[in-house]
């Protein structure tokens, strides 16, 4: 018989067929692996961490007209068909509802360690070389300009403004990616994020040098 984790992998792969490249099965696989790596250094419930990592983008509101209720419904229906306790289901649903960067102002101050772990893993996949790749892919998907020297980044956007933003891809670095290193919850997360942060600074430097042909 297959384990719950194996069933979940199969379910998520099937659900994410055809997803935008930055939010596809390989994003989930990286977040799952990063979550395990971080979890190895923390005192936590491994099953909750792995299930939440696998299910965290099952129906991203960005791709479902902003509807935030779809993902928890799909995850609950799936988990109820598995050998998982109601207590674990509730923990996983809490995590997938509250993990998002754009919801960060609404989330309760004290978070369960399992949420902190998966959130760090998801944020790590948003930075570094992979983060750069994902961000340009998303910008292309939205048909946003790569860069416009006339358009300044808008910091402190409300959740609504952030979601609606169709600014440039380079501005997204200042509006989100470069802020993530200071939002890490765990020691391991901070370490990995710092190295990837420095790599992005180097990328931006080079980008402006090449943009400003003299
Ligand atoms: P979350 O899914 O955690 O709420 P976001 O909605 O900010 O996070 O998006 C996840 C990823 O999608 C980002 O890390 C980035 O790669 C890409 N993305 C989101 N919004 C933009 C944008 N306006 N421009 C470019 N990339 C974006
Ligand atoms: Ni994600």
Q: Are 107 and 39 in contact (CB under 8 A)?
A: no
Q: Is 195 or 155 the better-scoring residue by pLDDT? A: 195
C-alpha pair distances (Å), 119 with each of 70, 82, 150, 168, 180: 19, 24, 33, 25, 11
pLDDT (average), residues 44-59:
96
pLDDT at residue 204 greater than cutoff 90: yes
At 135 the pLDDT is 97
Q: Whose CA is nearest to atom 16 of ligand 1?
A: 135
Q: Please identify every residue whose CB atom is under 5 Å from ligand 2, which is an ion.
A: 57, 122
Which CATH entry fits the domain spanning 4-211: 1.10.240.10, 1.10.357.10, 1.10.3210.50, 1.10.10.10? Answer: 1.10.3210.50
Nearest CA to ligand 1 atom 5: 101
Task: Examine the pLDDT at 100 and tell me if it is beyond 70.
Answer: yes
Mean pLDDT taken over the chain: 92
162 Cα nearest atom in ligand 1: 23
Question: Ligand 1 atom closest to Cα of 144?
Answer: 24
- The dihedral through the CA atoms of 51, 52, 54, 57 has a sign that is positive
Predicted model pTM: 0.91
pLDDT for 107 = 66
Distance 192 CA to ligand 2 centre (A): 17
Query: What pLDDT is attached to residue 170?
Result: 97
**pLDDT tens digit string along 116-169?**
999 999 999 999 999 999 999 999 999 999 999 998 888 877 777 777 666 899
User: Are the CB atoms for 28 and 12 separated by under 8 Å?
Assistant: yes
The confidence score (pLDDT) of residue 109 equals: 75
């Amino acid at each position: 018989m297959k384990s719950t984790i194996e069933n979940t992998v199969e379910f998520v792969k099937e659900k994410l067929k055809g997803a935008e490249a930055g939010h596809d099965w390989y994003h989930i696989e990286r977040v799952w692996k990063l979550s395990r790596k971080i979890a190895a250094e923390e005192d936590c419930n491994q099953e909750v961490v792995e299930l939440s990592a696998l299910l965290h983008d099952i129906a991203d509101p960005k791709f479902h007209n902003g509807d935030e209720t779809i993902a928890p419904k799909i995850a609950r229906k799936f988990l109820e068909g598995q050998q998982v306790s109601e207590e674990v289901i509730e923990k996983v649903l809490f995590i997938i509802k509250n993990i998002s960067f754009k919801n960060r102002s609404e989330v309760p101050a004290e978070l369960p360690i399992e949420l902190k772990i998966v959130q760090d893993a998801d944020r790590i996949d948003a930075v570094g070389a992979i983060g750069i790749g994902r961000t340009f892919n998303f910008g292309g998907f939205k048909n946003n300009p790569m860069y416009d020297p006339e358009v300044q980044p808008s910091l402190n956007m409300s959740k609504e403004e952030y979601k609606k933003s169709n600014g440039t891809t380079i501005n997204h670095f200042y509006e989100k990616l470069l802020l993530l290193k200071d939002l890490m919850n765990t020691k391991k997360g901070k370490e990995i994020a710092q190295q990837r942060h420095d790599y992005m600074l180097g990328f931006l430097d080079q980008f402006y040098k090449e943009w400003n042909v003299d």
